[in-house]
Amino acid sequence: MSIVADIVVLGSANVDLVVRQPRLPVPGETVAGADFTRVPGGKGLNQAIAAARSGATVAFLGAVGRDELGDSLRRTLRDDGIDTRGLTETDVSTGIAVVSVLDGGENAITVVPGANGAVRTLDDESRAAITRARFLVAQFERPIPLVAQAFEFARGLGIPTVLTPAPVTPLGGDVLALADILVPNAQEACELAGTPDEEVAARELSRGGATVVMTRGGRGVLVAKDGAVTIAVPAREVDPVDTTAAGDTLAGFLIGRLALGDELESALRAAVIAASLAVTRRGASSSIPFWPEVEQLL
C-alpha cells in the first residue's frame, strides 16, 4: 500500500537529552543541573508531530539506528498517527541532541546527527510518497544533497516545498532557491542575507521567489514576499518555561493548516498560538499542543 499524506516531512529524528541548569558552564567549569529528561526530538520529528496535531495527515521520511532509541522514535511518530513506512533503519546509531535549558527558558543545543546523516539519496518509496503530498517539508538536519534531490523532484511535480534553513550552512545556498516557503528564525535570516537588520533580511530572502516566514520569538512573525513585508503577526504574551521546539511547532502548525485549506494569515495566527503554548511546557515534541487547544484560543 502506497504512502498517502497531506504533508511529507523529510527530516531529522533525535532523542533529546535535556538538562535544566541555571547557566552554561565556562570551559573547565562544572555546573550542577536541576533535573534530566529524555524526550523525542529533532526538527523534522517535531514539525511532523506539530503538523499532525494541527489536524493534517503526515508521512515522515527519516532515518534511525537499529537500536532502542530508534524504536522509541518510531513509536512516538505512530502515536500521533504519522505514517512511518518511510523511516529507514540504518547501522548507524540513532541521532541525539544534548539540550541545556537555562533559567528563563532559553536553550543551547548540541546535536550528534547519527543515522540522520546516513542516507544521502532519495529512494523510490520516498519519491512515491512525495508525489501524493500537498507539501514537502525539510530542514538542514539531513544531508543537503538529499534535501536538494527531494526539492527538485517535488518542484518538477508542482508540489510546494517548505524549508527551515537550520542549522545555517554554506552548502545550503542552492537549496534556498528551491524553497517555495522559507521559515527561518531572525538570526538565521540575518545570517543568510548578510545583514543585522531583521526586516531587511526577510525582504532580501524573499526576492528569490520564496514566501519568507521569519519567526522572531516574543516579537511575533514577519512575512515577506517579492521584496516587501506583507504580513506581521504579533506574538501572544506568555511566561516562557522552555523555548525548545517553539519554531518547529510554528512551522508544523503553519503548513498543517495551509494543507487543510486555511489562508496564510489565518494559518499563521493559529501557528503563533500553538508556539506560545509550546513555550509554556517543557520538552520538545512533548510540548506541542493539539488543535482543540489552539482553536479555543483563536
Q: Is 244 annotated as a binding residue?
A: yes
- 203 assigned ligand-binding residue: no
The answer on whether 248 is annotated among ligand-binding residues is: yes
Q: Does 9 count as an annotated binding residue?
A: no
Cell of 27: 570551559
Q: Is 198 annotated as a binding residue?
A: no
Task: For residue 282, say whether it is annotated as part of any ligand binding site.
Answer: no
Q: Are 185 and 49 in contact (CB under 8 A)?
A: no
- Residue 107 annotated as lining a ligand binding site: no
Task: Determine whether 79 is an active site residue.
Answer: no
Catalytic option among 6, 80, 83, 248: 248
Q: Is 44 annotated as a binding residue?
A: yes
Q: Is 287 annotated as a binding residue?
A: yes
Terminal CA-to-CA distance of the chain, rounded, Å? 38
For residue 15, say whether it is annotated as part of any ligand binding site. yes
Q: How far is CA 115 from CA 12, 69, 93, 143, in A?
A: 9, 11, 6, 11
Residue 219 labeled ligand binder: yes
Instruction: Tell whether residue 16 is among the known ligand binding residues.
Output: yes
Q: Is 218 annotated as a binding residue?
A: yes
Say if residue 220 carries a ligand binding annotation. Answer: yes
Is 45 annotated to bind a ligand? Reply is: yes
Please write down the HEC assignment for all residues of the chain. CCCCCCEEEECCCEEEEEEEECCCCCCCCCCCCCEEEEEEECHHHHHHHHHHHCCCCEEEEEEEECCHHHHHHHHHHHHCCCEEEEEEEECCCCEEEEEEEECCCCEEEEEECHHHHCCCCCCHHHHHHHHCCCEEEEECCCCHHHHHHHHHHHHHHCCCEEEECCCCCHHHHHHHCCCCEECCEHHHHHHHHCCCCHHHHHHHHHCCCCEEEEECHHHCEEEEECCEEEEEECCCCCCCCCCCCHHHHHHHHHHHHHHCCCCHHHHHHHHHHHHHHHCCCCCCHHHCCCHHHHHHHC
Establish whether 127 is an annotated binding residue. no
Could you tell me if 146 and 154 are in contact, meaning their C-beta atoms sit under 8 angstroms apart? no
Which residue ranges make up the annotated binding site for substrate? 14-16, 42-46, 141, 248
Q: Catalytic amino acids?
A: 248
Which residue ranges make up the annotated binding site for K(+)? 242, 244, 278, 281, 283, 287
Which residue ranges make up the annotated binding site for ATP? 185, 215-220, 247-248
